[in-house]
Each structure stands twice: as structure tokens, then as C-alpha cells.
């Protein structure tokens, strides 16, 4: 895999950054990259560098898997979890150096729990399920509206920022 530190972005119909259209791997130009629609499955595998990848939306009906594939990666989901419209699976990598950040600016009710004998974390509350495994840490930042965050179980270190709303 690519050992360069890459920056990327997934939207409801495109993948951009990751060096597509620019020699600077840290530049994300949303006008360049891959456009898609009507996919049943979308699999994205990053390289071994310290990558930064943001999932701002998941297309309705498209099960999406993001595999960090090693390195000290930072993966971000949000700011609007209502845009996660289908299952999203996050694989941090066997070296457990990946940080997952989940940002929610809207009023949300989220439940954090585990499955598969405690091996896979699950966050319910977005239209689509968010599942994750092999992470160094999970950071959840809630917005300034009224939120509810229920912790049934966790599979990794959790940092919770409740924002300025009524929790």
C-alpha cells in the first residue's frame, strides 16, 4: 500500500483527495476524484501512512467499508450523522493505532455497544449502522442541541465531548 500520508473525503456520491488530481497528498479538491451512484457496496482501503479520511455521508443503499490498513490514521465521521444512510464499517488496522472521531452537530440519541463477543463496537442512532473494530480510541463530539448518549459497552478507549447542549 501507499506509505504516504493521505487526506481523503467520502460524500454521498464521491471520493476525493488521496492524491487524486494533485501531487500534494494533503489537498482535497472535491471537484476531482471518483463520482459514483447506485452502488450496493463500496470498499475503501487506505495505505500504511498516517492517513486522515473523513466520511461526511454514506449513500442510501450503499454498504460502505473503510479499512485504515495500518498506520497512525485519523478517521472522522460527521458532522451530520443523518447523512449516514446505510451501514458503515470501519476497520482500524491490526496495529491498533487508528483514532475514530464521530462528530454530531444535530440533536441525536446515540447508543454505543459491542457485538461479536466484544470485538466490534457499534454506534446506533444514525439512519445507518456504524460499526468499528481495531481502534486505539474513539472520540465522540456532540453538538449544542439536546443529545442523549447511552453507553452499554465499549470496545476501545472512549472520549466523549457533550458540547453545550442539554444532555
The alpha carbon of residue 58 and the mean position of all alpha carbons in its chain are separated, in whole angstroms, by: 10
Residue 167: per-residue pLDDT: 57
Strand partners, 52: 7, 74
For residue 149, the tally of other CB atoms under 10 A from its CB is: 18
Tens-place pLDDT, residues 13-49: 999 999 898 888 888 988 899 999 999 999 999 999 9
Tens-place pLDDT, residues 85-117: 999 999 998 777 999 999 998 888 999 999 877
Give percent of the chain with pLDDT exceeding 90: 71
DSSP state of 139: E
Residue 67: per-residue pLDDT: 96
Helix, strand and coil content of the chain, in percent to the nearest 5, comes to: 0, 45, 55
Q: pTM for the complete prediction?
A: 0.93
Amino acid at each position: 500500500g501507499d506509505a504516504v500520508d493521505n487526506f481523503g473525503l467520502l460524500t454521498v456520491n464521491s471520493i476525493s483527495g488521496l492524491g487524486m488530481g494533485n501531487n500534494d497528498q494533503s489537498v482535497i479538491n472535491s471537484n476531482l476524484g471518483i463520482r459514483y451512484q447506485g452502488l450496493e457496496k463500496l470498499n475503501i482501503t487506505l495505505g500504511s501512512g498516517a492517513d486522515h479520511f473523513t466520511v461526511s455521508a454514506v449513500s442510501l443503499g450503499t454498504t460502505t467499508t473503510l479499512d485504515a490498513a495500518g498506520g497512525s490514521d485519523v478517521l472522522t465521521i460527521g458532522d451530520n450523522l443523518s447523512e449516514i444512510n446505510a451501514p458503515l464499517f470501519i476497520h482500524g488496522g491490526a496495529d491498533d493505532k487508528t483514532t475514530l472521531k464521530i462528530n454530531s452537530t444535530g440533536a441525536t440519541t446515540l447508543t454505543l455497544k459491542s457485538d461479536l463477543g466484544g470485538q466490534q463496537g457499534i454506534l446506533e442512532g444514525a439512519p445507518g449502522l456504524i460499526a468499528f473494530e481495531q481502534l486505539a480510541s474513539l472520540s465522540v463530539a456532540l453538538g449544542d442541541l439536546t443529545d442523549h448518549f447511552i453507553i452499554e459497552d465499549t470496545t476501545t478507549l472512549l472520549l466523549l465531548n457533550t458540547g453545550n447542549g442539554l444532555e
